[in-house]
Amino acid sequence: MIKCNGCGAIIQDKDETKAGFVPKINDKTKYCMRCYKMIHYNVLPKIIATNEDYARVIDNVLKKDGLIVYVVDIFQFKNTFRDDMIERLRGKNVILVANKFDIFPHSTVPSKIVDWLNYQCMAKSFKVLASIVVSSKSGLFIKDLLSLIDMFRFDDKDVYFVGSANVGKSSLINAIIKDAYSIKTDTISTSVIPGTTLNEINIPFFSDNSKLVDTPGLINDYDVLGKLLPVSYSKIMPKTELKPKTYPLDDNLAIFIGGLASFEVLDKGDAKAIIYASNDINIHKTNRSRVKDLFDSRIGDILTPPTKDEVKNINYVEKEIIFDGVKKKSIWFSGFGFITILGKCKVKVRYIEGTEVLITNAII
């Protein structure tokens, strides 16, 4: 039995529609056709497994006695620090890693984010051995993560990387291997499509023969990606440093985050709002009186993403939120960003039906 080095599926030459397919298996086969195409032709993979399949693999992994690296996406924190994962991880040896720190404004102080992460854990009574921010893309703090892993990997245990789909688990393992061996090429397949990794992938790494283990992640049903087509994925996932936009609130101000959400001021109080979203999303400032008209006629052209094609399958829901101004807060939209509110105000957000809007203490 050979496993694909890219996604972990068992290599087979019987069924093209199933994971691990290659037309012909031989001694040199290292990757399935899906990963081979992803690596050499930049072809995006199709999703071929379900959340139940992924959950089975994860639960199997968690039965083993190892050190767990729980990876979350700092830009999608609320989406990826999930109750269903926290419940699975309670009582285990866990290091919490917030990945993709490179996209946060470079003035962000890492230790403040770590404090914030620890607070979020405390709020869920979730004990972790340590929290850290890293970037698998830029390599920032990868060495520090490796030191933490060495420190907490009692009795030469294996190290399991778990977390939601797309948080960068596979990228993180690649970054660790690149750093440790001073190499430039990726070992495991990564992509913008949730569900790239299909099975557990074991990588012998430590001198005692213990392994780094990559796992598939659960896909969040509330993620906005599920409502969009792959053409929009790379637009809403920031690739470069976020350029936050600050708006002092005015009565009747409305702001569109592309056509993904709108933010309307019902009572401006003394507040301002700072929007953190990918630079590829059009932020459009307008008056509340124009909101209905814009939703009816301009989504998919000036208000994009989504594209015109995607709009056909999207409905919007709305929610009023009151901020008392005592603490800074962040409004998290599943999948494409957050708004930090400073001060007292009352606002209305409209967002895509089937996605979530969640509030935390402000992250930045």
Ligand X SMILES: Nc1nc2c(ncn2[C@@H]2O[C@H](COP(=O)(O)OP(=O)(O)O)[C@@H](O)[C@H]2O)c(=O)[nH]1
Sites of contact with ligand X (CB under 6 A) = 99-100, 102-103, 135-137, 165-171, 190-192, 196-197, 217, 239
CB 214 within 8 A of CB 159: no
- Contact status: 210 vs Mg ion (CB under 5 A): no
Q: 220 contacts which partner out of Mg ion, ligand X, none, CB within 5 to 8 A by kind?
A: none
- Contact status: 197 vs Mg ion (CB under 5 A): yes
Least CB distance to ligand X at residue 244 (A):
16
Cα separation, 180 vs 142, whole angstroms? 10
Complex with ligand X: residue 217 or 306, whichever CB lies closer? 217
CB 163 within 8 A of CB 58: no
Complex with Mg ion: residue 189 or 330, whichever CB lies closer? 189
What would the two tokens of residue 357 be? 């809007």
List the alpha helices (DSSP H) in 198-289.
230-236
Count of residues of this chain found to bind Mg ion when the rule CB under 5 A is applied: 2
Complex with Mg ion: residue 197 or 304, whichever CB lies closer? 197
- Contact status: 215 vs Mg ion (CB under 5 A): no
Complex with Mg ion: residue 197 or 210, whichever CB lies closer? 197
Cα separation, 163 vs 177, whole angstroms? 19
Least CB distance to ligand X at residue 229 (A):
16
- Contact status: 164 vs Mg ion (CB under 5 A): no
Residues with Cβ < 8 Å from 328, sequence gap 6 or more? 340, 341, 342, 361, 362
Which residues in 299-358 contact Mg ion (CB under 5 A)? none
Complex with ligand X: residue 145 or 352, whichever CB lies closer? 145
Complex with ligand X: residue 194 or 306, whichever CB lies closer? 194
Cα separation, 243 vs 343, whole angstroms? 21
Least CB distance to ligand X at residue 266 (A):
35
CB 41 within 8 A of CB 131: no
Cα separation, 35 vs 39, whole angstroms? 6
| Residues paired with residue 162 on neighbouring β-strands, in sequence order | 70
Complex with Mg ion: residue 144 or 186, whichever CB lies closer? 186
- Amino acid at site 332: W
Least CB distance to ligand X at residue 343 (A):
30
Q: Which of 8-16, 28-36, 163-171, 290-298 is the region at the interface with Mg ion (rule: CB under 5 A)?
A: 163-171
Q: Which of 50-58, 68-76, 169-177, 349-357 is the region at the interface with Mg ion (rule: CB under 5 A)?
A: 169-177
Phi, psi dihedral angles at 247 (to 5 degrees): -130, 115
- Contact status: 191 vs Mg ion (CB under 5 A): no
Cα dihedral 190, 105, 108, 104 in deg (nearest 10): -20
- Contact status: 170 vs Mg ion (CB under 5 A): yes
Q: 165 contacts which partner out of Mg ion, ligand X, none, CB within 5 to 8 A by kind?
A: ligand X
Dihedral sign of CA atoms 29, 31, 36, 40 in order: negative
| Residues paired with residue 107 on neighbouring β-strands, in sequence order | none
Least CB distance to Mg ion at residue 334 (A):
20
| Residues paired with residue 36 on neighbouring β-strands, in sequence order | none
Least CB distance to Mg ion at residue 84 (A):
18
Cα separation, 209 vs 207, whole angstroms? 5
Sites of contact with Mg ion (CB under 5 A):
170, 197
